[in-house]
Amino acid sequence: MQIKFAYAVTCHKAQGGQWKNVFIDHGYITEDMVNVEFLRWLYTAFTRTQETVFLVNFNKHFFFEKE
């Protein structure tokens, strides 16, 4: 992906606002860093979107496959 111009807002800065598209970058989060505070942050990030959430660099353990 090539981006010429971009604007970034941290999840906490975005509280109370909504955006058409939200990109959530999981970044370098180890399993021991996934705790209640992380899940609260993730909930806030998910609820900022109006249309589409893009998950970037998410660990495969956050997803499951239907059988």
Is residue 24, in this structure, part of any structural domain at all?
yes
Token representation of residue 52:
């589409």
Is residue 41, in this structure, part of any structural domain at all?
yes
Is residue 49, in this structure, part of any structural domain at all?
yes
| pLDDT score at 12 | 65
Domain with 47 in it: 19-62
pLDDT tens for residues 17-66?
788 888 888 888 888 888 998 888 888 888 888 999 999 988 887 888 88
Higher pLDDT, 10 or 51: 51
Rg of the chain (C-alpha set): 13
Q: How many domains does the chain have?
A: 1
What's the whole-model pTM score? Answer: 0.69
- Please give the Cα distance from 58 to 67 (Å, whole number): 21
Is residue 2, in this structure, part of any structural domain at all?
no
